[in-house]
Structure formats: structure tokens, C-alpha cells
Structure 1
Amino acid sequence: MILLLYLSIVSTIFYVVQTHPSSDYSETKIITDTCKDNEFLLSTTTHSSLDCGISCGENAECRRFVFCSSKSTCTLYQHGTDCIISGDSTSCTCYRKNIGRNADDTTTCAVGFYGNNCQNVAQDCKDAYNKNIHSSFQIKDIPTYIKPTIAAEPVEVKCGFGNGGSTLLMHRKRYCSFINFNRSTTEYEQRFGNFDSNYWIGFNTLLDIMLGSPSTYRLQIMVFNTAWIPCSIYYEGFQIGNKSSGYSFGSSSTTPSPDHADCGDSMTGSLNLIGNPFSTYDDDYTGVNQCANRLGGGWWFEDSPQCSRSFLTGTVDGSTSDTFWLDNLDGELLNMVKFVLTK
């Protein structure tokens, strides 16, 4: 029996309170992308967002739902904040469960938050792994809220719990909806894109993570060719400089991946990008070569010839400014790219 329904004036928060359980929700964004989120708990027919919220509240594993009034569909999800829809989304509304009080007296929090009132949040993905926040999930790569010790507010990142708590820094995927990576330095300081298609974590969050928990970090760059065969390389002692350095790239050494073919070293090999600032069209450090403007994306360009042997923020569509990794993949189109941070 429903005892109370409160819908805020700006329609961003509502509370569904039953004798037991009870939940409250915040309205989040609907994002249109050809690569939609296919991992859902349940999809059913309901008549209102209230009914859909009740279904989510009664399911202890539900942390997000989307209701589409034109189709009367209700879809429940186990994690995440925004809802990715590949078709018409004009009648759809997405909500995240902020806190759920379950019938067995347990509490459901947004992933990354914990405590009886969801008052605590993991510092980073490694901390979330150590706190076993991922234990109820079958999948290993999960959108997770973290709050680095020097950050003002929690932020959602994608944590990899299959390898001890890694953090996704960048994701590029051909065939997903286009997201422009030819952006200003200010834009690269912020997060943009979608975790599962084309995504950038933002320098601000990356530095909050690395400076908030000083450690020896490693960057894994994983590249998939058109046959979806992966190769990989690790940059040990990975560092990113501060804003005044132009977010310069640093690494102490490289190691091959034990799980994939060796990509070769297009960052510190025959051309060395260590110490190079990150060039964008509005902050291009490459002088007469104008690499960021010419290639159309941000990167740690130069030590030439003509800019770099790697460029992974291109268009991902086979055009002249497409992504490339010349060592071991010279001339190959790249279906997918991942940057993953571990410590």
C-alpha cells in the first residue's frame, strides 16, 4: 500500500514510501546513443513512472529505472546514473535510486556509496574494491561513485573490479554514436561522453584520483583491430602533470601485457612523448606543425616526425584524422581503444 508520494516542484526528485520498503529517486539524463545499455534486471509494462519506481523500490538490486510513457515500458537496472537509449526517447524519463530501504532491513545505495544511510563513499576504484562494493554484481566493469580525498564532490567513474579496482580513463568505440574529441583544453579538463561508447574521464578527475591517493600508477593502453583482436601495453610509473605543465605525459618504463598480444610502444619508443604537454586546437604546443589543429584532437604530440606515432582521439571512422597506433598496427583501422589506470 502506498502511503505517500511526493513529487518535487522541479520534477527532479520523488519519494515512494511504502510500509516497507521505501526509496527516493533523482531524475537523471536520457542519452541517445547507438550503443545502448543492454544489461538490465527487468523490463515490463507499467502505466506510470510511479509504478515503475515502486517496482524498482521492491527490488533490492535495482538502482536505476527508465519509464517510457509512449510504450508504457519500465526497465530496471542494477547500476548507473543516466539512461542510454538507441531509439526515440522523447517520452522517456530516467531516475536513479539515491537510497532504498529494503524489506529485510538492508539498504541499497548507488554503487560506491555505503553505510546505513549511504553517507559514505569510496575514495577511488581500488578503495571500492577493497570494501567489496562489487560483491553483488556478476559483471566486473561497473559505473561507481568515488570521492577522492582532495575532491569537493563525488563523481561517477567506471571501475574494473576484475583486476583489483582499475579506473577507465578513455574509451573509443567504432560504430557507436559520434562524440567529438576535437575539443578545447577546458573541455578536456571535464568528463565527456558515455562509458560504453566514446568517453573521456577529464583531467580534473584524473588528477584528483592520482594526487588524492599517491601511489605508483600504471596505464594500460588496449587496442582492438577490425577483427576485434586485442593488443596491449603497460606504461609503468604513469604520471600526468598539473595544469601549468599542460597535463604532460610521464612514464618510467613499459611492460608487455601477459594476456594480449604486444601492441608495441608508440608513446615512448622510437618517438618519445615523455614530458610533452597535451595539445588541443586552442592550446597547441607543436609550433609550425600545428598537430592538434591538423589532426583534429587532443594528444601529447611531437618529438615528430610530423607529430607522433600514436593518436587515439581521432574520429574513429576511417577518415584522414582517424585514430592510429603505428607500432605493430601501422595502417590498421582501430575498432576500440581503452585507457585503464591501475595502482
Structure 2
Amino acid sequence: MASVKEKAIILFWAVCLHVDTGSGSCVDLDVTGCRTNPQLCQDPLLAEVTCPVMCNRCPTVPQTTPSASSGSLECYSCQNIKTPSTCNQTQMCSSGQSCFMETTDTVHGVLYHTGCLSNNMCTPPGYEHGIVGRSTEKRQRTSCHECCFGNLCNDHLCTSSKYDCSDVLRSGLSRGSGVYRITPWNMHKEVEVYCDMDTEGGGWTVFQRRLDGSVNFNRNFSDYEQGFGSLDGEFWLGLSLLHSMTSRANMTLRLDMSFSNGTTGFDEYSGFYISPPEGYNVNVDKRINSAGMSDTSLFSDHSTPWDTNHRPFATYDRDVNDCSRISGGGWWFNRCSNSNLNAPYNTNALFYNTMYPGNPKTTKMMLRLSY
């Protein structure tokens, strides 16, 4: 019967992968036990040769205690199952590990693997903190590999789509506010969006942001349809994407703004929906939450000639009543409306009558799946 040392050597040579824990590359061998069994780290040879990354034995990885301790994560742990919901086994992760799920495409269909994995294999380059959705570990025939940080959070990874930022949050994949990749439910391709994970519980998909006037918002209709700007600064996400995301389910619209005197305010509206490309009309039901705003000129009003609700989107090259050419920027105009948060920065044309008088210094428009 082979000794532990012999087993490690056999595993080492079987995959023909060089591991140098001194000064060169330091990676785990592609062995299932290496990824899912923290007890392997208790053996010095296996920890140094077979599973150095998982056991944090690489020179650049801080040493951690391999045994589970109070406060460590509990994760679902099953191998080669066809349905994740059938997994009823769990394991306690070691320090420095998070939960993961992996799918492997086989001739017999998709198989799911769950368990614990080193955080080092779940954090991509450029991110110093937190766990993100897609692991940096690459394996042949692996179609999905995702991590999360929360007790028993890996029961739905690789099985639930991330249609917007609320799905990212509910999937346990949030690393705080920032840029994420999602797949809108009817677009079948990944896109990058900015997720606000701090405001009122998080899960907001930001589709408009003004900060300093660094981006020109006086654009043509095509630009507003496709989106422009930088997700790290000022931007407009795009009418096409807005229509796709709001047509999925009942959405909440939130408008945040601040003024140079330090005043801030926000409005939230239920039933947010952008109609099809014929007009990209904006639609909301009623205001459901507010702070620092008045009770007049609401976004949901539709009884006066200046109300925005149900109006089509207009730009200078696709104008409704010359309002875009007069005020600048693209907006849902109706006799030049009670608001225009896309007007030229630092002008009187940039306003929101529900928080009048004054011109906003910063604005942010967001959507979130209604709960």
C-alpha cells in the first residue's frame, strides 16, 4: 500500500505540473481533493507539493490555520452531482477560504461540484478585497466557476443568472459598489454595469451619473440609445439596455442628487419601465420613498402639460417640441418638462423641480428589482 509521500509523488507526476514553492510559480495540482478537502493541509508533504495554494504555502500567501475555527464558513460540499439542490452535505472551510461551485461539461451532461476554495483562487488581479463572482482558476471543460462569501451561499452559484445588480447582490457575489458583468435576461450577452451596493441595502443598477461635467451629455439619439461615458465616472448606460432590464419585472426607480450648498435629496418610484425603441417612453406608477424633496412636480405626475411621465425620449436630432435643442441633452420632454438631469452641466437647464430652486451638482439615476 502506497505511503502518503508516495501518493503525493504519484499525483505530482500524473499531471506533469511543476510546482516551485520557493521562488518560482506556485499553483495547486488539478486534483479534486486538493480543491475541496482542507484536511489535506494537515499533511506537510501534501500541503507543500500537492496543494500549496489552497493551504497558503506559497511565498506570497500569508500563512493560515488549516483547521476550521469559529466564524469560518460552512459551504455545501458535493461532487459530480447533476442537480445542485440535491446536495445535503456541508463542510467547514479553513481560514482564508470561501464557498465555490463549479460546473463541468461531460458527455453525460453538466455535473456540479461544490465546496471550499482558497480566496486566492477567487480574487482576480486588481481586486485586493472581497470575493467576486468568477474564479481566476481555469480548467479544461469547466463552463462555470464561481465563488461567494457567506454560509451555505454556494447552493445557487452557476445556476442563477445575473440579470442586474440586484441579482448580483442576492447571489452573494457583491464586493461593494463598482463595475460588474451581468447578462440582461433577453440580451444573451454579458455587459458591464456599475452597481451601487451601498445605498439603501444595495443592488441598484446605476444608469445615469453626473459628477463634474467631464462628459458631454448633449448627444444625438444614437449615443443615448447605445450609452456613453465611463462607468468609473460620468455616464449614461443606454436606452436599449434600460428597456431590456426594465421589461424583465417590476422595477423601482431612484433619483439621487446633491447641491453645492450640501443639500441632498432622493426620490423613489415604483413601476419603472422604459417602453420599446419606438419612443423609449418613461413610465412610473407612484412615489414610494423620498427625502429632501417637495410634494410637487413629481416624476409620476401626468396631468399637466409639463409632466415627464409617459413621455418619449428626445434629443436634438430626434426632438419632440424643440426642448432638446433649446435646453440641451436628451430627456423625456413635455413642454420642456419639470426636470432635465441630462442638460449641460452647471447651467440653469439642469434642474429637478421636485427639489427646486437650484441646479444639482451631482445626480444619479438607478433601478432595482422591486421586492
Q: TM-score, normalised by structure 1?
A: 0.61
- The correspondence for 1:337, drawn from 363, 366, 370, is 363
Which of 292, 316, 334 is 1:261 aligned to?
A: 292
Q: Which has the higher helix share?
A: 2
Three-state SS of the structure 2 residue aligned to 1:101 is coil
1:328 aligns with 2:355: yes
Give the Cα separation in 2 of the matches to 1:248 and 1:77: 41
Is the CA contact (8 Å cut-off) linking 1:109 and 1:118 kept in structure 2? no
Paired residue secondary structure (2:258): strand
Residue 312 of structure 1 is matched in structure 2 by 341
Change (3 A) 1:109 1:100: farther
Maintained 8 Å contact 1:184/1:281: yes
Alpha-carbon distance, 1:197 to partner: 2.4
- Among 19, 27, 32, the alignment partner of 2:27 is 19
Change (3 A) 1:179 1:64: farther
* Match runs of 1:142-161 below 5 Å: 142-161=178-197
2:329 to 273, 276, 297: 297
> Which position in structure 1 is the counterpart of 2:254?
220
Question: How many pairs does the alignment contain?
Answer: 248
Q: In 2, distance between residues paired with 1:157 and 1:278?
A: 21
Answering whether residue 194 of structure 2 is matched by residue 168 of structure 1, we say: no
**CA–CA separation in structure 2 for the residues paired with 1:101 and 1:196:** 27
Q: Percent identity?
A: 23
Structure with greater proportional strand content = 1
Q: Which amino acid aligns with 2:309?
A: I
Indicate how the Cα distance of structure 1 residues 178 and 251 shifts in structure 2: closer, same or farther if over 3 A, else same: same
> What runs of 5+ residues in structure 1 fail to find an aligned partner?
5-15, 23-53, 66-75, 80-96
Q: In 1, distance between residues paired with 2:324 and 2:259?
A: 24
For residues 112-161 of structure 1, what are the alpha-carbon distances to aligned partners after superposition, in whole Å with 9 as ceiling and x for unaligned? xx99x989752222222221111xx3x3x232111122113111112233
**Aligned partner letter, 1:273:** T
**1:253-272 CA distances to partner (integer Å, 9 max, x unpaired)?**
12342xx3225535344632
Does the aligned pair in 2 maintain the 1:21–1:100 contact within 8 Å? no
Task: With a CA cutoff of 8 Å and minimum separation of 6, indicate the structure with the bigger relative contact order.
Answer: 1
Does the 8 Å contact 2:122/2:136 carry over to 1?
A: no
Counterpart mapping for 1:278-289 below 5 A: 278-286=313-321
For the residue of structure 2 that corresponds to 1:237, the secondary structure is strand
* Structure ID, larger Rg: 2
Shift of 1:202: 0.7
Aligned to 1:248: 281
Report the Cα distance in structure 1 between the residues aligned to 2:29 and 2:224, rounded to whole angstroms. 42
Q: Distance in 1 between matches of 2:120 and 2:236?
A: 32
CA gap of 1:186–1:3, structure 2 versus 1, over 3 A, is farther
Gaps of 5+ in 2: 1-16, 31-59, 62-117, 139-144, 149-153
Task: Classify the secondary structure of the residue corresponding to 1:206.
Answer: helix
CA shift in 2, pair 1:218/1:297, >3 Å: same
The corresponding residue for 1:73 is none
Secondary structure in 2 matching 1:222: strand
- For 1:183, which of 219, 228, 231 is the aligned residue? 219
Provide closer, same or farther for how the CA distance between residues 338 and 263 of structure 1 changes in structure 2, counting only shifts above 3 A.
farther
The alpha-carbon deviation at position 297 of structure 1 amounts to 0.4
Task: Go from structure 1 to structure 2 and tell me whether the alpha carbon gap of 1:250 and 1:59 turns closer, same or farther (over 3 Å shift).
Answer: same
Deviation at 1:99, TM superposition (A): 4.7
> Per-residue deviation at 1:329?
2.1
Write out aligned runs for 1:109-124 (5 A). Answer: 122-124=162-164
